[in-house]
């Protein structure tokens, strides 16, 4: 039987990974797995239960008890937590902020990484492959992925995108403030003791600051077509 094809897309927050991954998965006919949404769903569950975000034991229990489903949807994919549609609730600034604690929890990462591996290997089999996006896909989740991309963009570009999203959501802020937030998130993502954001020697590093989502996804798609593995 042919091995499932895994496409790993890692990179910092706001580099456009989600939309690129979604578009690429659609072009390839693959399953799209947004791993950040899974960390966000556990964060939401922890906030709702007023958990101590520094207590690994509590967080582990919450992660185990959280059934997370990712379902394709337009324009956005849907995220369900224990059967409830939380697609919007997981995108609030409060969840974004608190997610750093959940992402640093070793037991939570173990649980989520193992679910992601299962989803990539098993759930994607009818599709022939999966596109997973996150921070540690090429390093920890699927170190043997056939394709590893590292999607980068300048702090300014990422902050501008984030500012647009926040404005759409009715949040009043400034570019300077968002740039500070983006830098702080990079620091946390890179210096996390486990599952930190890293390139692998075989990662294909792309800076798509000046490309549209369609162009970015097109470039990745073309690379995959030209390099069958």
Of 167-206, which residues contact ligand DC (CB under 6 A)?
Answer: 189, 195
**Can residue 100 be called a binding residue for ligand DC (CB under 6 A)?**
yes
Residue with Cβ nearer ligand DC (136 or 181): 136
Q: How far apart are CA 30 and CA 127, in angstroms?
A: 5
Helix (H) or strand (E) holding 26: helix 17-28
User: Residue 26 Cβ, how far from ligand DC at the closest point, in Å?
Assistant: 19
Q: What is the CA radius of gyration of the chain?
A: 17
Residue with Cβ nearer ligand DC (129 or 195): 195
Which residue among 9, 13, 145, 153 contacts ligand DC (CB under 6 A)?
13
User: Residue 197 Cβ, how far from ligand DC at the closest point, in Å?
Assistant: 8
Q: How far apart are CA 24 and CA 202, in angstroms?
A: 20
Strands of the 84-85 sheet, one edge to the other: 68-71, 78-81, 84-85
**Can residue 115 be called a binding residue for ligand DC (CB under 6 A)?**
no
Buried b (16+ CB within 10 A) or exposed e, 115-144: bbeebbeeebeebebbbbbbbbbbbbbbee
Q: How many Cβ atoms are within 10 Å of 15's Cβ, its own excluded?
A: 24
228 Ramachandran zone, left/alpha/beta (phi>0; psi -120 to 50): beta
Instruction: Annotate each residue in 25-64 with x if it binds ligand DC (CB under 6 A) or - if it does not, as one string.
Output: ----------xx--xx------------------------
**Can residue 107 be called a binding residue for ligand DC (CB under 6 A)?**
no
**Can residue 216 be called a binding residue for ligand DC (CB under 6 A)?**
no
**Can residue 135 be called a binding residue for ligand DC (CB under 6 A)?**
yes
Where along the sequence are the contacts to ligand DC (CB under 6 A)? 13, 35-36, 39-40, 99-100, 103, 134-136, 189, 195
């Amino acid at each position: 039987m042919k091995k499932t094809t895994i496409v790993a897309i890692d990179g910092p927050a706001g580099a456009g990974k989600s939309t690129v991954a979604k578009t690429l998965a659609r072009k390839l006919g693959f399953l799209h797995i947004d791993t950040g949404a899974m960390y966000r769903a556990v964060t939401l569950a922890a906030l709702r239960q007023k958990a101590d975000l520094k207590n690994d034991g509590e967080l582990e229990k919450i992660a185990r008890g959280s059934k997370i489903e990712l379902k394709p949807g337009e324009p956005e994919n849907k995220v369900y937590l224990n059967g409830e549609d939380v697609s919007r609730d997981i995108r609030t600034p409060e969840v974004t902020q608190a997610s750093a604690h959940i992402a640093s929890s070793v037991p939570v990462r173990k649980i989520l990484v193992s679910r992601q591996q299962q989803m990539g290997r098993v759930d994607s089999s009818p599709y022939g492959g999966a596109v997973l996006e996150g921070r540690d896909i090429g390093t920890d989740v699927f170190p043997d992925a056939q394709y590893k991309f590292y999607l980068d963009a300048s702090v300014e570009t990422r902050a501008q995108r984030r500012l647009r999203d926040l404005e759409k959501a009715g949040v009043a802020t400034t570019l300077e403030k968002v740039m500070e937030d983006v830098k702080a998130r990079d620091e946390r993502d890179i210096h996390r003791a486990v599952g930190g954001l890293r390139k692998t020697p075989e990662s294909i590093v792309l800076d798509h600051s000046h490309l549209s989502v369609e162009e970015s996804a097109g470039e990745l798609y073309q690379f995959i077509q030209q390099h069958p593995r």
